[in-house]
Amino acid sequence: MLKYKMLIGGEWVEALSGKTYRAINPATGEEAAEIPLAGSEDIDRAVEAAQQAFPIWSKKSQAERSDLIWKMAGLLKEHEEEINRIEVLDHGTPIKLARIQRHISSMNLEYAAQASRTLMGSALPYSAHTMSCIQREPIGVCALIIPWNSPLMMVTSKMGACLATGNTCIIKPSAIDSMVTLKLAEILSDLDIPAGVINVVTGPGGTVGESLAAHPGVRFISFTGSSETGKRIMSVASGTLKRTQMELGGKNPFIVLEDAEIKKAAQRGVASSCNNTGMVCASPGRYYVHQRIYDEFIQEYLQGMKKIKVGDPWDEQTDMGPVVSAEHRERVEGYIRSGVEEGAKLLLGGKRPDQPPLDKGYFVMPAVFSEVRPHMKIYCEEIFGPVACFTRFSSDDEVIDMANDNIYGLCASVWTQDTARGMRLVERINAGVVAINSDRFVSSETPWGGFKESGFGKENSVFGLEEYTQLKLLVMDNN
């Protein structure tokens, strides 16, 4: 079994209490690692280390910071196989998906290194005798609270933007899968980064996360996770008026019009619903299919879903691995039961595999429901698992009303061969990211973030970098 320590002030340390917890391999249910269980005194140490490092790191030139972040991306590439192995062990990620996520993670760091070099200031024409300029300055110590569904991509997106703009950070990975973040920090320790610029503390959100949110030395929190947890972090953080950036839940409409290319839309829907075992905030939450093609589309969708291979994450042919934990499997299964009990029609799957070796891990077969109604839990709530929910509609106005009738507003897609009609629809959808004939929303160059209870602020792109800065206006009168 692997044993890890936390990174605080450039040193690999145990929790001061000596307490640890065990990480579980979700594909086998076996213990995989022993990880320190941090307490409030460990958070104090990490904040102090980050505060001491801030003047050193923030005073480095942009070129120096960008160069180091570019080297981080290079180290990720050099250690690809090691990172992939930990990702599979830690999260149950299929190996072919782990490779894609590692590649995206390197791109996140490369983008932050490049884009930050043009970000930090601009001159303003104020008057003939006055010079004024806007400076973007780092905020200070940032807490980066990482979700469990795509830890490597999330930590590189947040850390790259945070460090590129001159801040120091305390990273808190999810207690469910902390290993890949700790391994990343270990790999990056080969670089000449001042001690305390990057700190990693481990433990549950209810203690470690709240300590970071409450700590007066932390000036900014970037959080990705559930809306409920986001609300709690905001409440705790309000005591010190620290800034927050929230990337929260989604129940995303996937709208298929009667003139859509049925095969293409169904294939993309299947891939999206099963990607990372459905544990993706951008996953389709509600399929709205026009009544003229409803039955045809579902049949095409079912054919595609039956081809998805659920299996050992190490198998190159595996499309979908386990969910992340026993607790989360029970949550997903609870939604499946509620769908049946409330009258939706279960067309496929939804059960645990009972044949070795999948009988020992946290596997659940993908489920497909038709005739889902607005009063049902599976219609309203984010499932965060491989469960597809189908509802029919008859008009554009009807489907827009249904799509917007939800507490979330993260992303949405419209599938049609009439681009003008598609544009009219996406302009009426209340979501932060919308697409026509695509569900590929996320890249290093494009902003990601939602409306309503899906949060606020942006990840990725130059807008994501700006989240980690504060504006200062400098005015000089030459009269």
For residue range 211-262, what is the model confidence (pLDDT) as tens digits? 999 999 999 999 999 999 999 999 999 999 999 999 999 999 999 999 999 9
Say what the pLDDT of residue 118 is.
Answer: 87
State whether residue 255 is helix, strand or coil: strand
Q: How many CA atoms lie within 13 A of 347 on its CB side?
A: 18
Q: Which of 142, 162, 281, 411 is catalytic?
A: 281
Q: What is the pLDDT of residues 308-318, one digit of tens each?
A: 999 999 999 99
Residues near 48 by Cβ (< 8 Å), separated by ≥ 6? 9, 217
Smallest CA-to-CA distance from 288 within 252, 324, 249, 321 is with 252
* Number of residues that make up the chain: 479
Residue 281 is a catalytic residue:
yes
- Strand order in 121-127's β-sheet? 121-127, 130-138, 469-477
Q: Which of 110, 210, 247, 459 is catalytic?
A: 247
Q: 2-248+455-475 is classed in which CATH architecture?
A: 3-Layer(aba) Sandwich (3.40)
Say which residue the tokens 């009063």 belong to.
375
Question: Are the C-beta atoms of residues 338 and 378 closer than 8 Å to each other?
Answer: yes
Say what the pLDDT of residue 120 is.
Answer: 73
| Confidence class for position 433, pLDDT limits 50, 70, 90 | very high
Say what the pLDDT of residue 127 is.
Answer: 75
pLDDT > 70 fraction of the chain, expressed in percent and rounded: 100
pTM over 0.85: yes
Partners of residue 451 on adjacent β-strands = 409
Instruction: Please determine, for residue 282, whether its predicted confidence score (pLDDT) is greater than 90.
Output: yes
Supply 68's token pair: 């180091």
Question: Are the C-beta atoms of residues 321 and 94 closer than 8 Å to each other?
Answer: yes
| Confidence class for position 419, pLDDT limits 50, 70, 90 | very high
Supply 385's token pair: 């698992």
| Confidence class for position 357, pLDDT limits 50, 70, 90 | confident
Question: Are the C-beta atoms of residues 408 and 251 closer than 8 Å to each other?
Answer: yes
Rounded CA-CA distance 301/310 in Å is: 17
Say what the pLDDT of residue 406 is.
Answer: 96
Say what the pLDDT of residue 121 is.
Answer: 74
pLDDT > 90 fraction of the chain, expressed in percent and rounded: 92
Q: State which H helix or E strand residue 474 sits in.
A: strand 469-477
How high does pLDDT run on average in the chain?
Answer: 96
Rounded CA-CA distance 339/318 in Å is: 27
The domain over range 252-444 is classified in CATH as 3.40.309.10? yes
* DSSP one-letter string for 359-388: TSS-----EEEES--TTSHHHHS---SSEE
Query: How large is the average pLDDT for residues 131-157?
Result: 94
Residues near 341 by Cβ (< 8 Å), separated by ≥ 6? none
Question: Are the C-beta atoms of residues 397 and 390 closer than 8 Å to each other?
Answer: no
Q: What is the pLDDT of residues 86-130, one digit of tens each?
A: 999 999 999 999 999 999 999 999 999 999 998 877 777 777 778
Residue 228 is a catalytic residue:
no
What are the boundaries of each domain within the chain? Answer: 2-248+455-475, 252-444
Say what the pLDDT of residue 478 is.
Answer: 77
Say what the pLDDT of residue 304 is.
Answer: 98
Question: Are the C-beta atoms of residues 446 and 282 closer than 8 Å to each other?
Answer: no
